[in-house]
Amino acid sequence: MHGAPRACRDDTETCPITPTASLALNDVSDMKTMPTADLPAAPAAEAAPVASTRARRPVRDMPPLRALPVPHARVTGALAWMRATRRIGGVLIWAAVCAVAQTVLVRLPGRSKIRFARFFWAQVCRLIGLKVRVIGRPAGAVRATAQARAGERPIIFVSNHSSWIDVAAIGGVVPAVFVAKDDVRTWPVISTVARLGRTIFVSRQRGTTGRERDDMTLRLMREDNLILFPEGTSSDGSRVLPFLSSFFAIAKPIVRADAADGEDALPMPIVQPVSIVYDQLDGLSVSRARRSVFAWYGDMDLAPHIWQLTRWRSMRATVMLHEPLDPIDFPSRKALALAAWKATADGAARLRQNVRIPPPQ
């Protein structure tokens, strides 16, 4: 039968299988035609294999789907890895070079060792890509021995604490030495860096409190100012924990252990509150969710945190120096601790809001 195929008139008419229809039926050329009315109804269970067979047929003209590469993400990851490696290596080399110089300076009289420690911390900030913005100014500068003996008052800087990087940021701004817990003495690399900054280590145990207080008093008698973190621990950076009044026991009239009867005591130190907030990351303001990039607290491991932090392209910390407090104006060290905490907490809250803050008068 030649010519174009015609359509079936009803359900009982036999429809011929044309080449086009044969291709549509998956090339089943030997299929016999029969009236559709005589076909038995296929059970539902038998239809599943046909459908599944057709679903598994590969598409001839389309390649299989696969994840497309993201070159930018790979380049960014590689650059971040190289950046962190370069920065950490730079700090290690810088610390090794400075260890030799500081070893000589600490044995010499004068203020060079104090200035060198400040220069050391400032360079560490530059090496890790941290820019430090300073609001206000320290209540005093580096004191000479003659100035200390002449009655110039030492300074105790008290600051909030949220990360190990606080040490470098504040240490590069104020002429002072840190007071750290005794555990830092055993940390690899960090202990060496801390000694370069002439850090004072304290155990905070009841049996050693008197000796450690005398050590800090001796530092204040000579030429040093001190930096304390009166929270007693580090926080997540979203708030300032209450200051412990025990940290302010040193803020009282200092009497030399070898002073003779009737000899004038050295003047009482000044307490200057300091607020530090990390407010920019890769050029953008730091929100609450991104403060965890900087915060190091609780049982977090130090090495992974250093590695992750140094991968970022740029960072900024703002250090705000408040008006100094005179311990004589406060009836107790608890009142002094509360006043210092309030100034520090208020300043940190304003810095976290990224508002323009005029420098203190």
State the pLDDT at residue 143: 63
pTM: 0.72
CATH of span 75-259+266-352: 3.40.1130
Averaged confidence pLDDT in the chain: 76
Greater model confidence, 104 or 210: 104
Q: What are the pLDDT digits (tens) for 255-313?
A: 555 554 444 455 688 999 999 999 999 988 988 888 888 998 888 888 888 999 999 99
Evaluate the CA torsion angle 218, 221, 222, 224 in order and state its sign.
positive
Residue 12 confidence (pLDDT) above 50: no
- pLDDT of res. 140: 76
Helix (H, G, I), strand (E, B) or coil at 1: coil
Exposed (0-12), middle (13-18) or buried (19+): which is 39, by Cβ within 10 Å?
A: exposed
SS3 of residue 355 by DSSP: coil
Q: What angle do CA 126, 159, 164 make, to 5 degrees?
A: 45
Confidence at residue 69, expressed as pLDDT on a 0 to 100 scale:
39
* pLDDT tens-place string over residues 144-196: 555 555 567 889 999 999 998 999 999 999 988 888 887 777 777 777 777 77
Residue 326: pLDDT band with limits 50, 70, 90: very high
315 forms bridges with which residues in the sheet?
A: 130, 281
Helices in 263-332 by DSSP H: which ranges? 302-309
For residue 359, the model assigns a pLDDT of 57
Report the C-alpha gap between 68 and 52 in whole angstroms.
28
CA separation for the pair 166, 6 (Å, rounded): 88
- What is the reported pLDDT for 100? 86
Domain positions in the chain are 75-259+266-352
Question: Residue 205: its pLDDT value, please?
Answer: 65
* Gyration radius from the chain CA atoms: 37
Q: What is the DSSP string of 241-256?
A: PPPPGGGGTTSS-B--
In DSSP notation, 10-71 reads STTSPPP--HHHHHHTTT-TTPPP--GGGSPPPPHHHHHHHHHHHHTSPPTTSPPP-PPP-H
Contact 169, 317 (CB under 8 A): yes
What pLDDT score does 253 carry?
53
At residue 93, what are phi and psi to the nearest 5 degrees? -65, -45
- Contact (CB, 8 A) for 198 and 215: no
- 131-132-135 Cα angle (round to 5): 145
Question: pLDDT confidence of 348, banded at 50, 70, 90?
Answer: very high
